[in-house]
């Protein structure tokens, strides 16, 4: 199952939410969960080593097979693998091959797509980011109850299948306001948590697991694993 996670404004918490969702899925799955980073933040969040040119960007600019992607994944925990972007730009020319590889495994793959920009609508339609979102089993927008972020969804040429709301005190907009503005249901709410922030700042999210935040995303990834199990008889995923 393929889950893409994205936002329309920086600072909404997309990368941390994607990391938490991947951790939750890895706790529930019998198969290694894959976390794919289209930005360059996941390695730092988990305290992983720098990869230089290695990673997804280099592969998209090459003619190498998808077996190279398997070799370039880094183990973050016994059941969680990270495919970093690396320092090179992503080339959309190999989108079909990449999506086939992403969807082939009998496990959960979570893609941290990053921030989408409504003022780049023409180029976005042909981007690797758009292709992955369009082919995802779940396309999840991550947002705070922020007027400026919600305003940007109006001109965006894509709509999510669900929303993860990053909750913070003092916001005037409600969950229902967000659902109406975005046109998709809120499938999970993650509270801003100092313990999670400290774990991320220290690059130790994989060892300082914030249980409350993981529970908040259980509906998203546990339901996904259940669908994977039902669609693949004989394969135990949870």
- In-domain check, residue 28: yes
Sheet holding 33-37, edge to edge: 74-77, 80-83, 33-37, 109-115, 2-7, 138-144, 162-167, 186-191
Contact between 18 and 112 under an 8 Å Cβ cutoff? The reply is yes
In a domain, 238, yes or no: no
Residue 180: other Cβ atoms inside 10 A: 12
Residue 237 lies in a domain: no
The rounded distance, in Å, linking the Cα atoms of 225 and 46 is 23
Domain assignment present for 141: yes
Domain housing 153: 2-230
pTM, two decimals, is 0.89
Residue 10 within any structural domain of the chain = yes
If one compares 230 and 48, the residue with the highest pLDDT of the two is: 48
* Residue 107: CATH number of its domain: 3.40.50.300
Per-residue pLDDT of 16-73, as tens digits, reads 999 999 999 998 888 899 999 999 899 999 988 777 888 999 999 999 999 999 999 9
Q: How many domains does the chain have?
A: 1
Task: Name every residue whose Cβ is closer than 8 Å to that of residue 30 and which is 6 or more positions away in sequence.
Answer: 236, 237, 238
DSSP E strands in the chain: the ranges are 2-7, 33-37, 74-77, 80-83, 109-115, 138-144, 162-167, 186-191
Average pLDDT, the chain: 86
Q: What is the pLDDT of residues 135-154, one digit of tens each?
A: 999 999 999 999 999 988 87
Checking if the pLDDT of 128 tops 70, the result is yes
In this structure, the strands spanning 186-191 and 162-167 are: parallel
15 and 112 Cβ atoms separated by less than 8 Å: yes
């Amino acid at each position: 199952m393929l889950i893409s996670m994205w936002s329309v404004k920086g600072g909404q918490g997309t990368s941390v939410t994607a990391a938490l969702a991947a951790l939750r899925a890895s706790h529930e799955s019998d198969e290694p969960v894959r976390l794919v980073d289209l930005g360059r933040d996941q390695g730092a969040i988990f305290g992983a080593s720098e990869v230089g040119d290695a990673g997804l960007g280099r592969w998209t600019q090459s003619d190498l097979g998808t077996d190279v992607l398997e070799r370039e994944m880094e183990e973050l925990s016994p059941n969680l693998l990270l495919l970093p972007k690396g320092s090179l730009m992503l080339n959309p020319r190999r989108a079909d091959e990449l999506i086939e590889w992403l969807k082939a495994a009998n496990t959960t793959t979570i893609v941290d797509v990053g921030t989408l920009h409504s003022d780049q609508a023409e180029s976005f339609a042909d981007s690797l980011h758009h292709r992955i979102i369009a082919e995802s089993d779940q396309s999840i927008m991550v947002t705070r109850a922020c007027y400026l972020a919600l305003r940007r969804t109006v001109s965006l040429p894509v709509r999510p299948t669900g929303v993860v709301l990053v909750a913070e005190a003092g916001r005037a907009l409600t969950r229902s306001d967000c659902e109406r503005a975005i046109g998709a249901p809120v499938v999970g709410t993650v509270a801003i948590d100092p313990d999670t922030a400290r774990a991320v700042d220290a690059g130790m999210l994989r060892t300082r697991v914030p249980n409350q935040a993981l529970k908040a995303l259980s509906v998203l990834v546990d339901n996904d694993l259940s669908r994977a199990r039902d669609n693949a008889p004989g394969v135990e995923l949870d």
